[in-house]
Copies of this chain bind each other. A is one copy, B any other.
Amino acid sequence: MLKSIIENSENYQPGLSIDCVIFGFHDNQLKVLLIKVPHSETWSLPGGFIPIDQDIDTAAVTVLNERTGVEGVFLRQFSTFGKIKRNDNHFGKEVLKYLGIDPEKGKWLTRRFVTIGYYALVDFSKILPNPLNRNEIVEWIDHKEVPELILDHREILDKALDTLRVELNLMPIGYNLLPEKFTIPELQKLYETILDKKLDRRNFLRKITNIGILTKLDEKKSNVAHKAPNLYSFDKEKYDEVLKNGLYQGW
């Protein structure tokens, strides 16, 4: 696919790419979708280029869909990364040769690239990591055990995580990361995992209830030994309203 892009590089915005940090929540871990670089121990964020006839936001949706197969998920631009040497020597002559790319055409790829970072929150249970070909390895990896990443992808991931932590104070998060029905302890665990700290149970319950986005269901969690906790779902209408207007009234 990279080859076909380069051979038709006039159809893409030059020197500009997109990288997506895709977060999922599973087993009390905040996981990130990563792609293994062939014949290397390093990994990369899923990314892509920007078709000349697509808005950058649309191009980001395309990258996300390609990799996760889901549509309509939470996806936000968070920062653009443009240090001069960020992709220096990344695609050397050997790599182009390996990919079977004409060195003259390959120049498009070897020039300086600025990349726009997007982050996505997806429901882990609905997504099967999607390799673009059978040699590609795509995996969910705990954000605390991320292996070595190419280029400045570590910086991009860290910045996405910082943004997520800040935005937790500004808007409700959870709708996109949890299954439809969940318990308060599960929601609290999500917050604790993202913030990487323990929260007081009663304080959390009070704060999250005050937002007014939860619906208590007439159902209890099954498969639980005793004192089964209540199940909740998000009131999507109220959730969207809070998402739009912001959580924190502040000043």
Contacts and interface: CB of A to CB of B under 8 A. Distances in A.
A54 B166 contact: no
Interface of A: 13-16, 50, 52-57, 77, 79-80, 82-84, 112, 114, 116, 166, 168-170, 191, 195, 199, 204, 207, 246, 248, 250-251
Task: State the copy count for this chain.
Answer: 2
Given A15-B15, A195-B251, A50 B82 contact: yes
Contacts of A56: 80, 82-83, 114
Given A80-B77, A166-B170, A169-B170, A13 B15 contact: yes
A251 B170 contact: no
A79 to B, nearest CB: 6
B169 A248 contact: yes
A191 B80 contact: no
A34 B43 CA distance: 44
Contacts of A84: 52-55
A55 B83 contact: yes
B82 A79 contact: no
Nearest to A52: B112
A13 B191 contact: no
B14 A207 contact: no
A126 B1 CA distance: 53
B199 A251 contact: yes
A47 to B, nearest CB: 15
Given A14-B14, A15-B14, A114-B16, A169 B82 contact: no
